[in-house]
Structure 1
Amino acid sequence: MRELTLKYGCNPNQKPARIFMQGDRELPVKVLSGTPGYINFLDALNGWQLVRELKEATGLPAATSFKHVSPAGAACGRPLSDILKKIYWVEDAGELSPLACAYARARGADRMSSFGDFIALSDVCDADTARLIKREVSDGVIAPGYTEEALAILREKKKGKYNVIEIDPSYRPAETEVKQVFGVSFEQGRNEIPITGDLLNNIVTEAKDIPESAKTDLLIALITLKYTQSNSVCYALDGQAIGIGAGQQSRVHCTRLAGRKADNWYLRQAPEVLGLPFRPEVSRAERDNAIDVYIGDESEDLLRDGSWERVFTLKPAPFTPEAKRAWLDGLKGVSLASDAFFPFGDNIERARKSGVSYIAEPGGSIRDDQVIETCNRYGIAMAFTGLRLFHH
């Protein structure tokens, strides 16, 4: 099959819509369930490239949770601690396969942004992973295959309308890619430079030690950025992205956005949050929303005037700014990557508040000395990769 009709383009008024192959090549994808749309396929194909590269870089199954052509989370399949199982709402799932752990991590990093995601999996989807996907609000999934049990589970989702796409893992596109904007064709060579540990050899700071675990996290962050709308930065820890900032015109705003997401990921693990007395009927998505408010600047709105009664059985004690800062001071060893150089040291000042100890960025700013000096002030090790990763 060389062509697939879509229900519509980016918006319902944009018809007709299709994906197709030039020449005599076949489409590398099959729709096993549902009717994917234009944005679904943009997310699916970008997500597939991301997880394929993560698998190659780490040797572990990988997953990503995509929304509007940028990842909300990306992770490899490391086991989950009891605390991570709790904050990712998978305590009841029993022992999970490595692929299911990867998806739980990818989905759990920023659950609010992942609401209604499109999922990409590096490996054949198994039943453990399918069961996690089935109970989340999601638009679809792409993988190189599905077990019979997994496919049966996914075909039950959304009364059979859930989008399930299979991709040929051997497919490789042409070296040159083309797209149109306003009737004008753009052509460029694909961004195929491999992201490996060699990119981390040029350490320009006084601190020189980057442990292997941090190198893996930096590779995860860099690969994630390769498929994130620019400007973008990514915080990573323990084999997963914990904060992704995408599409910001100002890099420091991007660093702040991603840093706040990383902070929220860690604040969810605080005793004040783990002990929140949720009503049993409150859904996971509603719990995520309530937690976001509770740990955010609007917590007073949740706790005043009895509005807390809708989600909690008891009124929680306030999570004060002082208590939040004290907890965040325990976040250490975080890795941070940027898709282009940091132009000022203010990015480093913000990053270190979220526990950043290791940084990878291209270098090349006229203020590199200032950025390096700021890293030296806080004992942060930084590697200049020499590789920009803009994605549009």
Structure 2
Amino acid sequence: MKKGFVKIKRAIISVSNKEGIEEFVLRLRSWNIEVIASGGTASTLREKGIEVIDVEDITGFPPLLMGRVKTLHPSIHGGILALRDKPQHISDLKQNNIEPIDLVVCDLYPFEEMARQKKDYSSCIENIDIGGITLLRAAAKNYDYVTVISNNSGFLDFLNHLDSNDGSTSHEFRRLNAIKAFSCSSNYDGQVYKWFVRDDFDKFPKEKFIKSTLKKNLPYGENSHQRAALYQTEDYDQSWANYTQHQGKDLSYNNLLDFDSSIGLILGFRDYLRPLVGIIKHTNPCGVATGKTVLEAFERAFLSDPISAFGGIVISNSSISVGVTEKIIQTFFEMIIAPSFDDESLELLSKKQNMRVVSIGKNWKSKVASDYEFRSIYQGILFQERDKNEISAKDLKLVTNRNPNNKELEDLIFAWKVVKQIKSNGIVFAKNGATIGIGSGQPSRIDSTITAIEKSEKLKEKRGMVLSPLDGAVMASDAFFPFSDSLEKAVSKGIKSVIQPGGSMRDNEVIDFANEKGISMLLTGIRAFKH
């Protein structure tokens, strides 16, 4: 039942963060609101010359157990929890000389900060708030009559509301603040739980609490009839949220998915010093290349699959100058991502108002991804370690008679880094630090191989080449070859070396075929499925 407006006559305040508390209480006093304050809060206010009523003057008890017990008393909680329309409740208050409390202002001990800083056990335990969380929950439960403020960010909103309503709060205002209080308390308990099971995390805790905060509503979801929003979880690395969008419409649901895939791609090449450019379409790379310059890298990446590149996303591991920009804008792209853009580039790009332009900062290599990732399925939530495995030459096992030469080895590692970012089944052909054919997302490995070959044949047509672009190229497969058919197709086009995880029942047949054709094969021992 809606209770309407409640005049604020009496408040209790107990805050750890004292910022803004002096001005807040002075405004309360201007409305003749009686203020009760707990120990630290009362001391802070008195230092500023503001007199308040001590909690112990209400309870008749001094703080106990070195401050562990202060507000946990019927004289406090009776005043908060009493239903003003229940005669028995009002009678109980009168018989026990308890005055109603209309406003509870309380934040909580900074437990999360203590845990994040990995403070010692005793410090963390003592920062588990008991009295504060009880105040919040009691006030939120009785929001029909009591207003609760759980963070100093709510001070101004409350004071403006008070001024607009003659010192009273509306039922809807109290309800919304109660929601905030319960959100605060549930998150707090989740953080405490997470800290207690921290040593068991590798085993995956029996219960997993995922805190997420709304960052922004999105125009629509994957399709225009779907609603969508972006939430940030407690485990995400905040550094990746610190990007700058210079122009264009807000990033859409699909833009953010492609942005995420783009980040995954360049993080895999974090150790590369040369310029590298990737072109992403529907979360799949359709062209990736290195170059002596960013311009050369872009041109080579674009040439890999110019048809698929249309409407995609360009990402560069190096800053973009106006010369590169002039080339990029000759084709329609949804978004360009780079560490930075020079002023001339930004001026030129401003003429393409619909193109989203995002800089991720020159320190992007120091940014990290969270250790775990999760996704929603009909049965619940899948939770797994993020695949951060990176290979080097020493990790690879040669299983053929022929050794790859140094250039081939470099291309093999390059191709493996790319195929890790492709939806399975994934096949990548590469040569001289550039993809020349990518097959992704096919139900069979042979189909992905055929797709990648077809892409390379278009490159042959575009360049007017006599030989296949795959002549002397390398091949990467995200999982083992169940048969030699994919390899047969690739070898017929001239590939010289292959990298794959191995692990098939027919590995020996595949290796024998490679030896028969005189190509080299390296095994990673690690699969790179991506779904």
TM-score band (shorter)? Answer: 0.7 to 0.9
Matched, 1:69 2:283: yes
What letter matches 1:384 in structure 2?
L
Of 254, 258, 263, 1:48 maps to 263
Deviation at 1:198, TM superposition (A): 2.5
What is the alpha-carbon root mean square deviation over aligned residues? 2.0
Equivalent residues of 2:412, 2:498 under 8 A apart: yes
Distance 2:503 2:496 in 1: 21
Partner of 2:309: 114
Task: Classify 1:183/1:336 alpha carbon distance in 2 versus 1 (closer, same or farther; 3 Å).
Answer: same
Name 1:227's counterpart in structure 2: 421
Structure 2 alignment gaps of length 5 or more: 1-212
Larger gyration radius, structure 1 or structure 2: 2
Q: Distance in 2 between matches of 1:263 and 1:25?
A: 41
- The aligned residue for residue 324 of structure 2 is 129
Give 1:231's aligned amino acid.
Answer: N
Q: Residue 186 of structure 1: which of 361, 374, 382 is its match?
A: 382
2:512 to 370, 373, 379: 373
Q: How many angstroms apart in 2 are the aligned matches of 1:104 and 1:218?
A: 21
Cα distance per residue 1:323-378 (max 9 Å; x no partner) = xxxx3358521100000001111111100122210000001100011101111121
| Distance (Å, rounded) in 2 between the aligned partners of 1:184 and 1:28 | 30
The equivalent residue for 2:503 is 364
Matched ranges for 1:301-380 at <5 A: 327-328=466-467, 331-380=470-519
Paired residues of 1:28 and 1:171 also in contact (CA < 8 A): no
Gaps spanning 5+ residues in structure 1: where? 79-97, 272-326
Going from structure 1 to structure 2, the CA distance change for 1:338 and 1:24 (only over 3 Å counts) comes to closer
1-structure distance, mates of 2:355, 2:216 = 17
1:142 is displaced (CA, Å) by 1.5
Residue 259 of structure 1 aligns with which residue? 453
Given residue 67 of structure 1, which amino acid in structure 2 is its aligned partner?
Answer: K
- 1:118, 1:105 → 2: CA distance? 15
Other-structure match for 1:214: 408
AA aligned opposite 1:20: Q
**Contact 2:459–2:469, Cα closer than 8 Å, also in 1:** no
1:28 lines up with 2:222 in the alignment: no
Give yes or no for the alignment of 1:177 onto 2:373: yes
CA change 1:23–1:242 in 2 (3 A) is: closer
Counterpart amino acid of residue 225 in structure 2: N
Question: How far apart are the structure 2 equivalents of 1:31 and 1:99?
Answer: 21
- Cross-structure match for 1:16: 228
- The one-letter code matched in structure 2 to 1:141 is I
- SS of 1:268's equivalent? helix
Report the alpha carbon displacement of residue 164 of structure 1 after superposing the two structures with TM.
1.1
1:17 counterpart SS class = strand
Give the superposition deviation at 1:149.
Answer: 1.7
- How far has the Cα of 1:59 moved from its partner? 2.2
Judge which range, 47-56 or 127-136, deviates more: 47-56
Residue type of the alignment partner of 2:377: V
2:354 matched residue in structure 1 = 161
Query: 1: CA distance between counterparts of 2:464 and 2:369?
Result: 45
Asked if 2 retains the 8 angstrom alpha-carbon contact of 1:48 and 1:121, the reply is no
Residue of structure 2 equivalent to 1:240: 434
Q: Is the 8 A contact 2:457 2:469 kept in 1?
A: no
Q: Is the 8 A contact 2:460 2:468 kept in 1?
A: no
In the TM superposition, what whole-angstrom CA distance separates every residue of 1:170-212 from its partner, at most 9, and x where no partner exists? Answer: 3212211122234722211111111322233x1101212x122
TM-score in terms of structure 1 length: 0.75
The 1:181–1:167 alpha-carbon spacing in structure 2 relative to 1, beyond 3 Å, is farther
Quick one: percent identity of the two aligned structures?
30
Separation of aligned partners in 1, 2:375 and 2:278? 24
CA distance in 2: counterparts of 1:117 and 1:24, whole angstroms: 25
SS in 1 for 2:359: strand
Work out whether 1:103 is the aligned partner of 2:298. Answer: yes
TM-score (norm 2): 0.56
SS at match of 1:47: helix
Secondary structure, aligned partner of 2:334: strand
SS of match in other structure, 1:254 = helix
SS in 1 for 2:527: coil
Aligned mates of 2:237, 2:280 — CA distance in 1: 27
Q: Deviations over 1:50-86 (max 9, x none)?
A: 1243351x421111111111011001114xxxxxxxx
Letter aligned with residue 175 of structure 1: D
Deviations for 1:297-332, whole angstroms, at most 9, x for unmatched residues?
xxxxxxxxxxxxxxxxxxxxxxxxxxxxxx335852
Residues 147 and 234 of structure 1, relative CA distance in 2, 3 Å threshold: same
